[in-house]
Structure 1
Amino acid sequence: MTTTSVTRPPTAARGPVPPALGARRRRHRLRVLAFLSPWLIGFAVFLVYPLVTTVYLSFTNANLVSAAGWVGLRNYRFLLEQDPYIWQAFRNTAWLVVVMVPAQVLFALAVAMLLVRLKSGAGLLRTVFYLPSLVPPVAATVAFVYMFNPATGPVNHILETVGIPGPDWFNSPSWSKPALTLLSLWGIGNVMVIFLAALLEVPTELYEAASLDGASPWQRFRYVTFPSISPVLLFSVVTGIIAALQYFTQAMVAAQAAGGLHSGAVPGYPEGSTLTVPQWLYITGFNQFHMGYACALAVVLFAVSMVFTAALLRRASGFQPQEVAS
């Protein structure tokens, strides 16, 4: 294949900008900055300044009472070598990322695909599946702790009627995180709605063509549905991982509601099984007043979130279709 080169006409040399044109450009830039100023101010005040301050305080012994003194990398060395709870918190948080996030995404996708296929009653079921996501997290967690109470909760009573011994759920180190996962599956309404919108946008012509070619349901999902909703799937996974790394409210409320007076002895009742990194950050910063160390935890958590996000985005970019050279 021969290539032909196209000769472009020479561009005219740029002369000095007329004063009137330069003034109009400056006024245009000022108008743009004026419209952007609310966002720029909010970005600087609520993101840049707190982030820079957190990084600075992570190298100090700030305690919310006295003036902060510079301690260098002492907080980070304590995090890696001496903190008795940090690795348990990281293991629990990693469990949530590896188990809870895929379970949420797959369950939300399955529910959305079911609602798309329903011929009648889909509107009612959409409402039923979405409403739990509107319940405040504290109220939902307290209700779940009551429902899964091994002695008085209805869940274990229902299991006993069918001959299945109910576990201790939030009172057992082995079952506390699965119970939190069930709580997260109950509130997948937001993710379900996003998947539902993506599935409704898939052209029906593609399914018809695949059916004419004899594609099975799995092949239609793999070669038609999955490529069409992959951006939404990536968005759900990234946001789910970030939310799991920031998991705080449900784990804290479940530990205190299930443990009662015993929940304060060891963080993350029972036996540290529900202790997450944001929880330990809160305890060290606002209960023990080690704000410098809490800032170091926040910086590490932020770095881990960025690494996860960058790795996922880089991995997803490899699935983009490539142009075929002729």
Structure 2
Amino acid sequence: MVDMTKKRLSVAPMIDWTTTDYRYFARLFNPNVYLYTEMISTGALLHGNRARHLRFDNSEHPIVLQLGGADISEMTQCAEFAQQHGYDEVNINVGCPSDRVQHNKIGACLMVEPDTVAKLVKHMQAAVDIPVTVKHRIGIDDFDSYDFMSQFVQTVADGGCTRFIVHARTAWLQGLSPKQNREIPPLRYEDVYRLKQDFPELIIEINGGIESIEDIQNHLQHIDGVMIGRAFYHNPYLLAEANILWNQPIPKRSEILAQLYPHLHQQVNQGEPLSTMTRHYLGLFQGLSGARKWRQALSGKPHLTVADIEQAAFEVLALNPDA
């Protein structure tokens, strides 16, 4: 069994998915995992509704704010916002391949500018007491050799970064969509393992294509942490099953729902629409009898009530009494 006092398991930042509504839900399954916000741009925090972008429930700790940006002054200011709002950590996005981040020359584009990333880390870390970390790809376009990634990490580490989360795929900025970039470039886990061997003093985590507790355990034999995105989102009960890594009990879905209902009532009373929350719950019964009926009950219902959710859950649990 892996010693989780020295390892980390986290939920990856996913745009439009890892909102505070999802993170609250995810935390009910597992008290130990690190939760990341979706990537939030510096522009959104500097010129948008900062309080709403940065809001989170205290139960979400440990929580990491992922920032998208490349301007030193703006990124430093946003790191300060993160600390002021109580975040446990700030992460710099150096992996997102979307057209939007390419246009702003941030995200994966920054892999070819390691000096810029090192300066971001240096200035941000000097301004805050919480850790500043970097999530990146193993390469970008034709810059996909191990040496290229190694030099990137060395340069950024010289700027003061000690924790790197590595998506074990190259990002292709031309010709592939963000979805294709998560699926088509081959996974190169061995490159991430080698990075840990070459930089034993750094904390190296791995991301990409990890879908089971067995996968997690295998990776943690080689590196310091595992980050999972879509597998946790589409099958949130995998988060519950991961409690075995800490030798802790696995909660039942019925127990998780019992904790969720009071929160839903509270959110409704505060004017939050249920539909924006329940879209994150569709995978709760994945693989069980009645899962499809549960998804149908929660989807496309603008006037959904908490009572409707309770009834839908009751019907599925009746088919799965041990769930």
Which bracket does the TM-score occupy, shorter chain normalised?
under 0.3
Pair member with larger Rg: 1
Higher-RCO chain (CA-CA 8 Å, sequence separation at least 6): 1
* TM-score normalized with structure 2 length: 0.24
